[in-house]
Chain A
């Protein structure tokens, strides 16, 4: 079946630098995408989402970019802080009327070096 995957399993950045986490998806029918942050021992925490009719969305210190042509999603974190250290997952949802589930990627571990 089609799946969501991640280019980089681990990413180390210096505190204060910007981070970019990438995600490739293969389901062309996906119309809704979410980035989640998961800290050790906790559940996924919603960061930001984007619908397929957009190519960019900004939040507080985070930006999500969607390139539907190459089926690529990225999460940019500005001025990365130690508290940003976590595993980041992209997730996508099929546009089908009976589709409720999110399909998660494997995750990228972000380590922030103080």
Chain B
């Protein structure tokens, strides 16, 4: 069964450092997403990406965040200057369309110290 692959599985970074979280979506999917989940809380939407541009973003996704699809397979989330409150699980997801269930990756646990 096709999977969304995320790397690394765990990243520890110092406050103020830049991090890049990487994702390989399912190959025939057209819609790509990043969500995050702070420990013990619900999953929160960050951003959606379609046709090589951001289609929707939440209030969380401020100018410290950016996304990129640098080639035909990878989809990345960059946090320019990490804060302690950015510590969370970050999930990448992809989907065939907006009214289809997404497939989520296993997540990257980001710990900012």
Contacts and interface: CB of A to CB of B under 8 A. Distances in A.
Report whether chain A binds chain B.
yes
A99 interface: yes
Interface stretch (B14-22, B38-46, B71-79, B80-88): B38-46
A46 B99 contact: no
B39 to A, nearest CB: 12
Contact of B55 (A31, A51, A89, A100): A100
B11 interface: no
A44 B91 contact: yes
A43 B106 contact: yes
B58 interface: yes
B31 A100 contact: yes
Interface residues on B, range: 20 to 34
Interface residues on A, range: 20 to 34
B33 to A, nearest CB: 7
Nearest to B50: A100
Contact of A107 (B42, B100, B104): B42
Interface string A34-65: 10100001111110010100000000000000
Interface of B: 4, 31, 33, 35, 41-45, 48, 50, 55-56, 58, 91, 93, 98-107
